[in-house]
Amino acid sequence: MSESLLGRTVGGLLADVAARTPAPGGGAVAAITAASAAALVAMAARFSSGDVTELASPADELRARLAALADADSAAYAEVLSAYRLPVNDPTRHQRISEALRAATETPRQMVKAATEVARLAGRLTDEGNPNLAGDSRVAELLARAAAEAAAALVDINVRVARRHHEARKHQESSEIHD
């Protein structure tokens, strides 16, 4: 995937997610959702006064980081698929699958941290920011929390897949020893 997910139109991105392709998928959508929440935080901070106006800068940084994580998630998943497509007798297959699953777990783990921070900033803005944008701040908080929860679920799923792969590999090695 050469073009950044966030370089696409909203309609194009939604069509890509809906297509019968493996990526972009849940991880990318979680990251984009959190990036959208960060954008709302930045906007609400810019319309506020006092100390909370300083929240715009970290929100912008988080938005950029989450946008990059959306692309990284799609790339990581592509690596997992590529590793699984290697011939079963390829001596590098097990190592490549393990490494790809590790990377596919690390990306949503980073999303959890970033989205949680977005939710924290949004909560502060809901309480202390411009009351006319309290709805935007609250939506940002809810979206960021949902994105963090979704990314955490992906971490759990990827860890389970990695464990199953490792157990299957151990079983295969044990069978080869007994043959």
Would the pTM of this model clear 0.75, i.e. be above it?
A: yes
Domains contained in the chain, number: 1
Segment 45-67 mean pLDDT: 96
CATH of residue 12: 1.20.120.680
CA distance 28 to 16: 11
| Per-residue model confidence (pLDDT) at position 51 | 93
82-140 pLDDT, tens digit each: 999 999 889 898 889 989 998 999 999 999 999 999 999 999 999 999 999 999 999 99
Phi and psi (nearest 5°) for 102? -60, -45
